[in-house]
């Protein structure tokens, strides 16, 4: 359902991988949050099973994706947003989205390193 919604919103999926992060990989990805109270529980969750990583493209991709996702807390997300539909809590909110082009570049490179 999420992939169908992505396509319905006009995104092109230019990268898609399924993987299981180990704890160190999860910590590396969320390093920006290392001093926050939720860091350990977030990285525990993100390393607890398989995740799907996608690179999405379209005009205004970042702002549009953030609208489609909804706010971080699924309980506060607007009806019809993906987090409202599929999220369980602030930390287990089903989706991630870059907040800027600079962050997107770093995050894409984290998972799609050139070999």
Give mean pLDDT in consecutive 10-residue pieces for the chain, a chain of 115 residues: 97 97 97 94 95 98 98 97 96 94 96 75
Which member of 20, 33, 64, 96 is catalytic? Answer: 96
Q: Which pLDDT belongs to residue 103?
A: 96
pLDDT at position 113, please?
Answer: 80
pLDDT at 114: 60
The dihedral through the CA atoms of 73, 75, 48, 115 has a sign that is negative
**CA dihedral of 34, 36, 39, 40, whole degrees rounded to 10:** 100
Of 113, 68, 55, the residue nearest 94 (C-alpha): 68
Residue 91 has a pLDDT of: 84
Tell me the domain boundaries of the chain.
Answer: 2-111
- CATH architecture of the domain 2-111 equals 2-Layer Sandwich (3.30)
Q: Is 20 one of the annotated active-site residues of the chain? A: no
Whole-model pTM: value is 0.88
């Amino acid at each position: 359902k999420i992939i169908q919604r992505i396509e319905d919103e006009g995104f092109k999926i230019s990268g898609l991988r399924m993987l299981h992060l180990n704890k160190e990989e999860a910590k590396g990805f969320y390093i920006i949050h290392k001093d926050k109270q939720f860091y350990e529980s977030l990285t525990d969750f993100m390393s607890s099973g398989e995740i799907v990583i996608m690179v999405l493209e379209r005009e205004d991709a970042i702002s549009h994706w953030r609208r489609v996702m909804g706010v971080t807390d699924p309980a506060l997300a607007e009806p019809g947003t993906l987090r409202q539909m599929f999220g369980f809590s602030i930390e287990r909110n089903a989706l991630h989205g870059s907040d800027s082009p600079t962050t997107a570049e770093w995050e894409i490179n984290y998972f799609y390193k050139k070999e």
